[in-house]
Structure 1
Amino acid sequence: MYMLQQQQTDLLQQQQQLDESVDLDSHDNDDELPVEKDSDDYEVFQPEPPSELCRFLLRMSLSALMHPFEYAKVLMQLGHEPLPATVGKNLLGKPTIYLPSFYQYLGYMKRIDGMLGLYRGLAARVLSCASSSFFAERFMNCLLPYRAESEKGRTLGEFAWNLLRNGLIVSTGVLVSHPFNVISVRQMASVVGGELAYTSFKGSVQEIFKQSGLRGFYVGFVPHLVYDLAVLVLTSSVDGICQHWLPLKPEQRQYNSALLQFAAVLLFYPLQVVSTCMCCSGSGMAAGAPPCMPIYAKWSDCLMDLLARGQHNRGAFIYRRTLPKMYMS
């Protein structure tokens, strides 16, 4: 019994010695730990933003990927509806005549023109986007540097300066890119009448120049320019007012800007339809002549005619495209 108690006593002493050694080691390790530094002493890792070339290539790739939808939209804006309408009911349960959706439209165009046919005018469209978003912006940045917002907030002078700068960028972009836009629209519209002159990019340039000279590359230029400037002025003005009077967080400002952009595009969309129609009106193409389309002398006549017939929003929606009420009787 005594031997057992002695062994227990020895074990307890050994356990205490081990505990003390562990405590000493922990204190030593605590001394070796680095002292906490202020947050300012640490460098916060921030990923580098993509280069300008990467952003440019991404925009061009997205433009090429979405080209079939742009192709269908242009044909809808021109009033080309090869598929019959169907009768359905709206949200209120009333009978309504619906036009085919974008996907039905693209399926039909693929059947009659093949998969490659959905990419008519792609080269001209890519050149239009490239010249507008890259060359014009780089040129204007060299002339008019952007004035950043100060700590006290954006002043009226800074807002006016930046709006003027952005307006010049937009105007220059439209001026440089519109000839390619005309070529692209006519190449896409050639599917209506089967005009062979617009099969290739080179042939389209020669045909337009032979018909109207350099002036032919700027048909529909005014509504195109007015559309882009109107969207810019409206979104910039309303966004500036919201930032000045409403306490919005940065994330809320981004959502607000996106909603304003969508509303402005929808509001001035008829000008985009007018520009597309004027690119073909009077050109000798089937898509720009009766019975597909009246021949307009001025773009304002085209706008008034579309508004009167309720055709000013052609191609604005992907689903549930309805005929104007005047055609339902």
Structure 2
Amino acid sequence: MADAASQVLLGSGLTILSQPLMYVKVLIQVGYEPLPPTIGRNIFGRQVCQLPGLFCYAQHIASIDGKRGLFTGLTPRLCSGVLGTVVHGKVLQHYQECDKVEDLGPGNVQKEVTPSFDQVIKETTREMMARSAATLITHPFHVITLRSMVQFIGRESKYCGLYDSIVTIYREEGILGFFAGLIPRLLGDIISLWLCNSLAYLVNTYALDSGVSTMSEMKSYSQAVTGFFASMLTYPFVLVSNLMAVNNCGLAGGSPPYSPVYTSWIDCWCMLQKEGNMSRGNSLFFRKVPFGKTYCCDLRMLI
């Protein structure tokens, strides 16, 4: 019980601290660019035309709604985080109790050691079930969070309170409205999890020397690196999920002429891929001007 409470408190604290970052990221993901590009330098020192980064974007939001405006959507996101942590822990606890029952079977015979790869598959499957259950339960709060953020674009107040947002979604879209964008989000989580754990197993088994004294630290580092790599590869699923969660919901940020109406998440995926925007919002600091945009940014002004 104490571990669960500490996880909830830690997760809530991280959620509060990261709320402005997620707010900016979501607005960028839907393609909202209120600030013109500026002249900057890339990692190689060359002058480039780039869009404002996280801090300039956050300052723009604060100039309109105040610093409290940077925490728009925090309440449903906190609910999602707390509920997701509890559900995730309950599912894993159920599997642990099943293992204890099996270990206390007739004769109390010690089982053979499970092969390492089979153990990875077993643990990954259980983690997948726990994450999927948590995602399924918390997705309605995720949808409310995204829509309360996106309404900044059109200055609406349609999704302000948690209760009012639930009533609005149910009245206009029914039960399915609470699960808009669920499929790509689930697929992204599952693919990322399996990819991360599989890569970490291959690296730890075949690339690292078991004789190294700091083997446990090296394995933890490899898990972090493979997790980052897997999240980069599956980012398009996150983008498509967020776009579908706000698509055609009655807000300016998710409706024509600002945003097209997608018939399905596959249609959204194909259109983003065609436009070359599959990584939109992935970077919050070095942001190049999207392909096809006609911003006025003349490098010759610096000469």
Q: What range describes the TM-score normalised by the shorter chain of this pair?
A: 0.7 to 0.9
2 CA distance for matches of 1:92 and 1:138? 48
2 CA distance for matches of 1:180 and 1:208? 11
Is the contact made by 1:288 and 1:294 (CA closer than 8 Å) also made in structure 2?
yes
1 CA distance for matches of 2:95 and 2:219? 28
Change (3 A) 1:95 1:294: farther
Report deviation, 1:68: 0.8
Q: Kindly report the root-mean-square deviation, in angstroms, between the aligned alpha carbons of the 2 structures.
A: 2.3
Q: 2:83 aligns with which of 131, 147, 158?
A: 131
2 CA distance for matches of 1:73 and 1:203? 25
1 CA distance for matches of 2:44 and 2:71? 38
Q: 1:196 aligns with which of 147, 152, 157?
A: 157
Is the contact made by 1:239 and 1:256 (CA closer than 8 Å) also made in structure 2?
yes
Matched, 1:320 2:272: no
1 CA distance for matches of 2:135 and 2:89? 11
Written as runs of structure 1 = structure 2, the 5 A alignment for 1:109-128 is 109-128=61-80
Structure 1 outlier segments of 4+, above 4 Å: 91-95, 144-147, 150-154
1 CA distance for matches of 2:56 and 2:10? 28
Written as runs of structure 1 = structure 2, the 5 A alignment for 1:7-156 is 51-92=3-44, 95-143=47-95, 154-156=115-117
Which residue of structure 2 aligns with residue 7 of structure 1? none
Please identify the structure whose Cα radius of gyration is greater. 1
Q: How many residues align?
A: 279
Report deviation, 1:221: 0.1
1 CA distance for matches of 2:180 and 2:199? 31
Change (3 A) 1:104 1:275: same
Matched-pair identity in %: 31
Matched, 1:225 2:186: yes
Which residue of structure 2 aligns with residue 277 of structure 1? 243
Output one character per residue of 1:212-262: Cα deviation in whole Å (capped at 9) or x when no partner. Answer: 111000000001101111110000111111222232500001111111111
Report deviation, 1:280: 0.9
What SS does structure 2 have at the residue aligned with 1:118? helix
Matched, 1:247 2:209: yes
Report 1 or 2 for greater relative contact order, CA contacts < 8 Å, sequence distance ≥ 6.
2
Mark the runs of 5 or more structure 1 residues left unpaired by the alignment. Answer: 1-49
Output one character per residue of 1:153-175: Cα deviation in whole Å (capped at 9) or x when no partner. Answer: 84333222112111101110110
What letter is aligned with 1:283? C
Q: 1:266 aligns with which of 207, 214, 232?
A: 232
